[in-house]
Structure formats: structure tokens, C-alpha cells
Amino acid sequence: MLLLGFFLGLAVGVGLCIWQQIQLKRYLAREIQPLTSRSQVLLPLLPNLQKAIARLKQQRQELQQSLQTYQDLLDFAPLAYLLVDEENQLLWCNRQAREILYLQRWQLGQVRLLLELVRSYELDHLIEQTRDRQKPQTTEWVFHPPCDNAVEMPKIKSLTLRASSLPLPDGQVGVFLENRQPLVDMNQARDRSFSDLAHELRTPLTSISLVVETLQNRLEPPLNRWIDRLTQEVDRLINLVQNWLELTQMEATPDIQLRTKPVEMRSLIMSVWETLEPLAQRQKLSFSYFGPENIWIKADQARIYQVFLNLLDNSIKYSHPSSNIFVQAEILSEKDNYTDDSVSSILEINLIDSGVGFSEADLPHIFERFYRGDKARTHSPLTEGNSVKSIVGNGLGLAIVRQILLAHGGSIKAMNHPETGGAWIQLQFPEVVANSQRQDYS
């Protein structure tokens, strides 16, 4: 019985094992069948897939070669170029950038903030501004290179740089840098040469002027008309030399020239017009002032007088006979950028004549020194009766006016007035003085 029970249990166990094996094979068959059918479908696509992978690898190699070519071109470009990521970390720069910004110690692959390497807040601000506005930006500033070695410090000079930035994908920014220092040095050398020449010319011109005055009293008509013409030319040369020296001095030290105090603008403008009124009467010109009666600004009275003397003199010269010259004054309010409650006042003065105006091509260059456009007012003849009056200038008057306005923190703009067709000069002065503040100034 025991033996029979043993064999019976063994048979039941073997049967169960066989049944489990059969069930396992059926389950595996069901699971493998979809995979087998998919592999039968995918097998014909494998060659095409391999070809596509090969093409992608080739395109990647070509892109890498193109990228390397562009980097080589940028590396040998005459302009400096650098690339930063979204956190202002330097990713790449070319050879010119390494030389201008003293980045020889930086190596490709290093993770360093650009501000740590260059220490230029102007450049860092330009990059942030470009990223925020998502528009190309341009700025110019004086870069002071960092130097850790006291011995090398005297050899390192500051550079005038101009940067043009461009927003790129993923928050990156590319910046092109131009070293403007050679041009600045050349302009300074030119200004020194002209200034030295002007100083040397003053003495002989003064001597010639004295000789001409002596001859003028001794010659009689018709010979004295040649002396009169010579006198005009000598005076023009003396005025040119004086204006050049004055402009050069103001550009070198603009703040030293100003002796500011409260100045009443309407009275000053009317005083200038009274000085020039004899010239205006020859062309039967009228003058009108529109605006507040009592406007005070903090300014150098002599310099502002010079500004309006030059501008009104130009308006008289280039106005048509029997026309009008207008001066419009207005106080503008401007909110402070930092506090909403603070409001600053700006005096805007518009001087408008009815003359020939400016040509559109010359408008951007009106305030440049010695600029004499072919169609500008400086060469425009005016008719006076039946004769043609040719106006001659030295090209420095408006440049001096602009420099005086800049020294006062103001601005000047030249346009053509849409109604009169003549010149429209717009000036702005920021230092408007209230009545209660005038006694605070000496």
C-alpha cells in the first residue's frame, strides 16, 4: 500500500509538471506571436533606416565642418566677437576679442562669467539690455583693461570701444566689438595740429588787420573798395580762427567754461534780437515771441547769448525778404525714472524762420564742424531786390552752438518746418529754475 501510494503521488506530480509546461508554452506562444509579426514588418525597413542614419551622420559632419569654418573666419576677422549664454557666461571669443579685452588667460571650455573676465559693466549692461529687448543694441564707452601686475599697469592704455550686440536663440547673445581708439587718437592729433596752427595764425592775421586799417584811412575812392573787401576777408579769417580755438577748447573742457546763474530767457532773446535788428531791417524781417513772460534757467548767460546770436543771425541771413521769424517757448514736464512723484521741468524753445530751410541730405550733418553741404543753407543764394546775395560761413557756428547746449546738459535738433518751409531749430534746457530758488544762486 505504501508503495502504491508513492507511485500514485509521483504520477500526479509528473502530470502537474507536464500540464504547467504545456500552459507555459502556450503563454509564450501567445506573447511571441505579435513580436514575430512586427519583426516580419520591420525587417524590410531596416536598410532604409540604416541609410537615413548614415545621412544624418553625414549632415552632422558637414554642419560641424561649417561651424568650424565660420569659427575660423571669425577668429581671423578684424572685428572682435564674443558669445555668451543665458547666464552671461563666456562660451567663445575670437582672437581680436582676446587681444582687445585681455582674455588670453581664458581657455575654451572654462565656465566663467564675462563680468569676472572683462570687468566692464557697460558691456554687461548692453548684453542684458539686448536679451531683455530682443533687439540689436549699440553702445560706445571707454574700456579700462584690468591689470593684476603693477609693473605692467603703466603700459596698459584705456580703449574707446563700440559694441553691437545681437540676440540669439536660447538666451544667448553675440557681441561684435570695434576698437575706436586709433580713430580717436587720430582725431585728437588732428585737433591738436589745427589748434596749434590756429594759434600761430592769430599773430600774423592781427598784424595784417592793423596794416589794412592803416591803408583804409589813407586811400581814396575807388581804391578804398579793395581795402574794404580785404578787411572783410581778414575779419572772416580772424573769426574762423577764433571759432576754431573756442570749439576745440569747449570740447576738451566743457564744464570749465560755464559760469552758471539764473538767466531770464525771454529778456535774453529779445536782447539778442535788438542787437541784430539793424540787419533784419534791411530785409524787412519781423520777429515774434510766443510763450511765458518769465522763464528762468540755470545757465551761463554769455554762452546762451552766443547761442541765440548765432541762430538768429542765421535766420536773418537765410530768410526771404519781408518774412517772419518766430520763437516759441514752452515748459515741459517729465517724470523721474526712479520716483513716480518727482517731476522735472524742461524748457523747449523752437526757432522757426521762413527761409530756404535745409536739404534732407544735409540735415543729419548740420552740426558737424566745417560741414558745407552743396544744397544746405550755407551755400544757398538769396535774392535781395534784383541782385543775388551769396552767404558765406565757416561751418563752425552750429557746431559751437551744439557744444554749448551739450555743456548745459541740453540738446538741439534741426528740422524743416512743415508750414513755413524754413529752418526749424528746437532747443531743450533741463535746468529750469523756480522763482523761489533764484536767491539760492549767486
CB-CB neighbours of 244 under 10 Å:
23
Query: What stretches of 339-428 show up as alpha helix (H) in DSSP?
Result: 397-407
- Residue 233's pLDDT is 82
Residue 384 has pLDDT above 50, yes or no: no
Structural domains for the chain: 67-179 (3.30.450.20), 183-252 (1.10.287.130), 260-440 (3.30.565.10)
Least confident residue range of 95-109, 136-150, 151-165, 326-340: 326-340
Is the separation of the CB atoms in 425 and 434 below 8 Å?
no
Residue 382 has pLDDT above 70, yes or no: no
- Write the pLDDT tens digit of every residue in 148-200: 665 666 677 888 999 999 999 999 999 999 999 898 888 888 777 777 777 78
Cα angle, residue 166 at apex, residues 164 and 169 outer, rounded to 5°: 160
Higher pLDDT, 315 or 256: 315
Residue 45 to residue 49: CA distance in whole angstroms: 6
User: If pLDDT is split at 50, 70 and 90, which confidence band does 115 have?
Assistant: confident
Tell me the residue length of the chain. Answer: 442
Using DSSP bridges, classify how beta strands 137-143 and 324-335 pair: parallel, antiparallel or unpaired.
unpaired
Is the separation of the CB atoms in 192 and 198 below 8 Å?
no
Amino acid at position 78, single letter:
P
- Match 540604416 to its residue by C-alpha cell: 50
Q: What is the mean pLDDT of the chain?
A: 79
- Residue 336's pLDDT is 47
Residue 125 to residue 134: CA distance in whole angstroms: 14
User: If pLDDT is split at 50, 70 and 90, which confidence band does 424 have?
Assistant: very high
C-alpha distances (whole Å) from 127 to each of 35, 131, 133, 140, 404 are: 56, 6, 10, 13, 33
b/e per residue, 145-176, with b = 16+ CB within 10 A?
Answer: eeeeeeeeeeeeeebbbebbbebeeeebbbbb
User: If pLDDT is split at 50, 70 and 90, which confidence band does 407 have?
Assistant: confident
CB-CB neighbours of 329 under 10 Å:
19
